[in-house]
Amino acid sequence: MKKITFIIFTQFSLFSFGQINLVPNPSFEQHDTCPYAFSQIHFAVPWFAGFATGGGSSDYFNQCNGNTSSANVPANVVGYQNARTGIGYAGIGLGWGGNIREYIEVKLNLPLTAGKRYYAGFHVSLADKMKFAVDGVGAYFSIDTVPPVPGWQPMPYTPQVENTIGNIITDTANWVLVSGFFTATGGEQFMTIGNFKYDSLTSVDTVSGNQGYAYYYIDDVTVMDSLDVGVNELQENISINIFPNPCDGKFAVQSETKENKIEVYNVFGEKIYRSEINKQKTEVDISSQPSGIYFVKVKTSKRMITKKILLLK
């Protein structure tokens, strides 16, 4: 069987259009050591676990070990997901039960300026093996590192950017953007990502997995001056729609532009479909292929985006 090493598509993140992203190592590609187990987010320098007392077991996944570890990409101990950009991403638990929380934290390249409005965003995907999905995930900005929280409990802070209440993120196939704007009080230079709400305030759904908690992958983290953010870039998460998903082999690709190049790959990196079209909606038929996970790469005049689709017969 071929190694699953080909599927590393070039994707444009918000910070690749010339704006200044204040987050170092935003897609978790840089590392001083390849991860080989849980609790190794500190390998993705300069990221680290968001607290040091009674926990801090946030995780790092990367393809650098070549399918030889439980912390591999795309297949790992909690699911199967290609990195949204490159070959690495982080992973944290957001609940459910016992108010168990994990966080990841990083020092920004520059402190934030008082009174200035900023955009912050990051992408999440629910790990396939999870039994629960939640709405609680956000980003908190602070002047200093957040103090230790004992017992893996929620941090007692209000994130400046947070997922919409009630918007439970159940998607295991695609990356979901969590984003927003906020005005800095001045001097904030640390960003912490996680669920800052107790279970009683967190909406939850039971999904198809068997692991008794809610665990999410995280990739492509961005913080930038709001004046550098364009409307089209903010809409990246909805600019390319693929439906239905899962599908029976026939699905539609809805794009923001008419000039599109569409390619579909299987999990071995083999191209099984290609089309260049001049319309915003395209019908794709891969029903001759076996059931499984496929990757749809759409190149528009503005960007290249890759999404995952599940074929079920």
| Per-domain boundaries in the chain | 14-234, 240-311
**Taking all residues of the chain, what is their mean pLDDT, rounded to a whole number?**
83
Alpha-carbon distance of 5 to 75, in angstroms, equals 11
Provide DSSP, the chain. Answer: ---S---------GGGGS-----SSTTS---SS---SSS-GGGSTT-EES--SS----EEEEGGG-S-STT-SSEETTEE---SSTTEEEEEEEESSTT----EEEE-SSPPPTT-EEEEEEEEEE-TTBSEEES--EEEEESSPPPP-GGGPPPS---SEEPPTT-----SSS-EEEEEEEE--S---EEEEE--S-GGGS-EEE-S--BSSEEEEEEEEEEEEGGG--HHHHTHHHHSEEESSSBSSEEEEE-SSSEEEEEEE-TTS-EEEEEEEESSEEEEE-TTSPSEEEEEEEE-SS-EEEEEEEE--
Q: What is the pLDDT of residue 308?
A: 79
Cα dihedral sign, 48-20-123-101 = positive
The CA R_g of the chain, rounded to the nearest whole Å, is 19
Q: What is the pLDDT of residue 208?
A: 84
- Domain 240-311: CATH class, spelled out: mainly beta
Q: What is the pLDDT of residue 25?
A: 95
- The answer on pLDDT for 59 being more than 50 is yes
Q: Alpha-carbon dihedral of residues 5, 89, 40, 64, nearest 10 degrees?
A: 20
Alpha-carbon distance of 152 to 198, in angstroms, equals 11
44-58 core/surface letters (b: 16 or more CB in 10 A; e: else): beebbbbbeeebbeb
- The answer on pLDDT for 5 being more than 50 is no
Q: What is the pLDDT of residue 66?
A: 75
User: Token pair of 148, please?
Assistant: 């230790």
Lowest mean pLDDT across 123-132, 150-159, 162-171: 150-159
pLDDT band, very low/low/confident/very high, at 205 (cuts 50, 70, 90): very high
Mean pLDDT of 163-183: 92
- The answer on pLDDT for 236 being more than 50 is no
Whether 14-234 and 240-311 share one fold: the answer is no
Lowest mean pLDDT across 4-8, 90-94, 149-153: 4-8
Q: What is the pLDDT of residue 298?
A: 83
Mean pLDDT of 235-249: 71
Neighbours of 303 (CB within 10 A): 19
Q: What is the pLDDT of residue 301?
A: 67
The pTM assigned to this predicted structure is: 0.69
pLDDT band, very low/low/confident/very high, at 100 (cuts 50, 70, 90): confident
Q: What is the pLDDT of residue 18?
A: 39
User: Fold for domain 14-234?
Assistant: Jelly Rolls (2.60.120)
